[in-house]
Amino acid sequence: MFPLMLNVSGLPILVVGGEGISARFTMLAEHGASDVHVFAPDAGADIRTLVAGRLNEHLPVTDDFQNIRPRLVFIADVSDEIAQGLYAQAHTVGALVHVQDRIPLCDFHLPARVRRGHLQVTVSTDGKAAGLSRHIREFLETHVFGPEWAQYVEEVAAARAQWKREGLSFAALGKAVADLVSIRGWLKNP
pLDDT at 175: 96
Q: Whole-model pTM?
A: 0.85
SS (H, E, C) the chain: CCCCCCCCCCCEEEEEECCCHHHHHHHHHHCCCCEEEEECCCCCHHHHHHHCCCEECCCCCHHHHHHHCCCEEEEECCCHHHHHHHHHHHHHCCCEEEECCCHHHCCCCCCEEEEECCEEEEECCCCCCHHHHHHHHHHHHHHCCCCCHHHHHHHHHHHHHHHHHCCCCHHHHHHHHHHHHHHHCCCCCC
The pLDDT value recorded for residue 97 is: 98
**pLDDT score for 190:** 58
Instruction: Give me the residues of the chain with pLDDT under 70, please.
Output: 189-190
Give tens-digit pLDDT for 109-135: 888 899 999 999 999 988 788 789 999
Give the pLDDT score at 99. 95
Amino acid 44: pLDDT: 85
